[in-house]
């Protein structure tokens, strides 16, 4: 599978701008997982972006957002 070489930059921009919906979060996470499994040379950066997302998952703001999405 040939991937857009700028995909990590695009995903990082989305993460930095804020994830607005569960569908957007799902899409970003799915793309990062695909990169990690299929593009070894990009896996380290993809893992770093996952770490950037992770702290927000346990925050009160994220939990409130998640309740609103469900």
- pLDDT (tens digit, 9 = 90+) per residue, 2-47? 567 689 999 999 999 988 888 998 999 999 999 989 888 889 999 9
CA 49 to chain CA centroid, Å, is 6
Q: What is the pLDDT of residue 3?
A: 64
Q: Which residue has the tokens 């893992």?
A: 47
Q: From CA 12, how far away is CA 8, in angstroms rounded? A: 6
> How many structural domains is the chain composed of?
1
Selected residue with higher pLDDT from 69 and 14: 14
Q: What is the pLDDT of residue 66?
A: 78
Q: Domain range spanning residue 48?
A: 7-67
Q: How far is CA 64 from CA 32, 45, 48, 60, in A?
A: 24, 29, 25, 6
Kindly report the pTM of this predicted structure: 0.70
Report which secondary-structure segment, H or E, holds 6.
Answer: none
Residue 55 has pLDDT above 80, yes or no: no
Tell whether 2 is covered by a domain. Answer: no
Tell whether 1 is covered by a domain. Answer: no
């Amino acid at each position: 599978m040939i991937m857009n070489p700028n995909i990590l930059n695009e995903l990082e921009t989305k993460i930095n701008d804020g994830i607005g919906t569960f569908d957007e979060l799902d899409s970003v996470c799915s793309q990062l997982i695909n990169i990690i499994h299929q593009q070894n040379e990009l896996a380290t950066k993809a893992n770093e972006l996952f770490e950037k997302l992770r702290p927000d998952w346990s925050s009160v703001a994220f939990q409130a957002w998640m309740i609103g999405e469900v």
